[in-house]
Structure 1
């Protein structure tokens, strides 16, 4: 019986690719390829192969249906560019894009910030103003030290709390 149990335990070994993400070993980072003057490159490499959430805000005062339509266009454009993203509408003007490979998060951020109806995009806690951001809200983003100038901009979830 003991030998049979040992055989079963050996057969239960799960391959690395089949393990849940939190149990997989992270891919090695080659620091010789990282430019120290570009911290974004290090973030890209450290998030490669991990799930990352990208938050986007639609400008104006759209209804949830309008937000659904606008962000659906963004998602299909990303899909046509071979980016595997899932979209979840979480408020009347807020959406989450879930990426299976976080290494592409900054490319997707660049795409979203270039859209006419995008007010801002948040990746890894950093808020980036979009094309539709007003001059007032652009000044509330992050400064050079990475700290937010305005507490309201740092925690945008507070204003959406009642909507959920």
Structure 2
């Protein structure tokens, strides 16, 4: 008799819990509730998404086959290691024809460079963080090194920072070139 009463209590508690879950209004769900619900839904999903449909943070990084590597420099090695990963590059600008570098000047030139890179099949997004500084974001990090080579030759670039390494541009003064 004692076992039956425990089962009855358990069933009543489970029913009450299910009723409270059912009665919750959809508009009262918080972001955390929705995220938890989504995660539960993903865990219980029998069909797994193919690798290319997963969000970038859940994809497996590409494996490096060290036997095929014919890198001539550490930069070539880094280029292969960053292939397929998101990478950001900082670019400093200076209007060499004027005393002040304006935001409109920087936006104009970064937009032109972005178009030139895109025409060369290098896809990136540009975000202005200061009047004279921009972030170039690459979905494929291997392309960032091509962009670095291109940008360090542009007239108004003072410096390019990629993976913690700074590369001077033509607009960098002698003092800045010595610091880099």
- List, as ranges, runs of 4+ consecutive aligned residues in structure 1 with deviation greater than 2 Å: 32-37
1:34–1:41 contact (8 Å) kept in structure 2: no
* 2:77 is aligned with 1:53: no
SS at the partner of 2:160?
A: strand
- SS of the aligned residue for 2:62 comes to coil
State the TM-score, normalizing by the size of structure 2: 0.69
Pair 1:43-2:82 in alignment: no
Separation in structure 2 between the aligned mates of residue 93 and residue 62 of structure 1, nearest angstrom = 6
**Alignment partners' CA distance in 1, 2:51 and 2:71:** 31
Q: Which residue of 2 aligns with 1:9?
A: 45
How far apart in 2 are the matches of 1:88 and 1:36? 32
Q: Aligned match of 2:123 in 84, 92, 101?
A: 84
**How big is the shift at 1:94?**
0.5
CA deviation vs aligned residue, 1:87-146 (integer Å, no higher than 9, x gap): 1111010011111100111110010000000000011111110111112111111xxxxx
Separation in 2, partners of 1:15, 1:22? 14
Tell me the TM-score normalized by structure 1: 0.76
Hey, what does 1:68 align to over in structure 2? Answer: 107
Structure 1 or 2: larger helix share? Answer: 2
User: 1:18, 1:123 → 2: CA distance?
Assistant: 28
Aligned residues: 134
Deviations 1:11-32 (A, max 9, x none): 3x11111112221111111222
1:37 shift after superposition: 5.5
Bigger Rg, which one = 2
C-alpha distance in structure 2 between counterparts of 1:37 and 1:111, whole Å = 20
Query: CA–CA distance in 1 between the matches of 2:118 and 2:51?
Result: 27
- 1:47-93 Cα offsets, whole Å, 9 max, x none, are 10011111101024311111111111111111111111111111010
Question: Please, which runs of 5 or more residues in structure 2 have no aligned partner?
Answer: 1-40
Contact 1:75/1:85 (8 A) holds in 2: yes
Query: What is the Cα deviation at residue 36 of structure 1?
Result: 6.4
Corresponding position: 1:104 with 2:129 = no
Q: Do the aligned residues in 2 keep the contact of 1:99 with 1:105 (CA within 8 Å)?
A: yes
Q: Does 1:27 align with 2:62?
A: yes
Gaps of 5+ in 1: 142-164
RMSD of equivalent CA atoms: 1.7
